[in-house]
Structure 1
């Protein structure tokens, strides 16, 4: 099984994800709302065990 390089850096609400080939994706989370550049998903954390997602 090969060894993989992964690193994550945080700059406030912005998170950068790196792999061996460079920047792989980034995400931002402000309050209950978040967005991911790789999957292009919006999500909102709702009260309790609920959440909402949109592609």
Structure 2
């Protein structure tokens, strides 16, 4: 099992994601709803350890 490095910086609702190679993606998180620029998937946090995610689209 490889060890992965990932760092996220939050600036209000904007989230910037970085990996060892540099900038990875950005996203928005407003309350329980979030969106990621790389996967273009919407996610909604549900109570407990559950969440719902759309399939997203990649061009």
What TM-score does the superposition give when structure 1 sets the normalisation length? 0.66
Q: Aligned partners of 1:35, 1:8: CA distance in 2, in Å?
A: 14
Aligned residues: 51
Q: Aligned partners of 1:52, 1:30: CA distance in 2, in Å?
A: 15
Return the index of the structure with the highest Cα Rg: 1
Runs of 4+ displaced beyond 4 Å: 18-23
Which consecutive unaligned segments of at least 5 residues does structure 2 have? 1-5
Query: Which structure has the highest strand share of the two?
Result: 1
What TM-score does the superposition give when structure 2 sets the normalisation length? 0.62
Aligned alpha-carbon RMSD (Å)? 2.3
Which consecutive unaligned segments of at least 5 residues does structure 1 have? 1-5
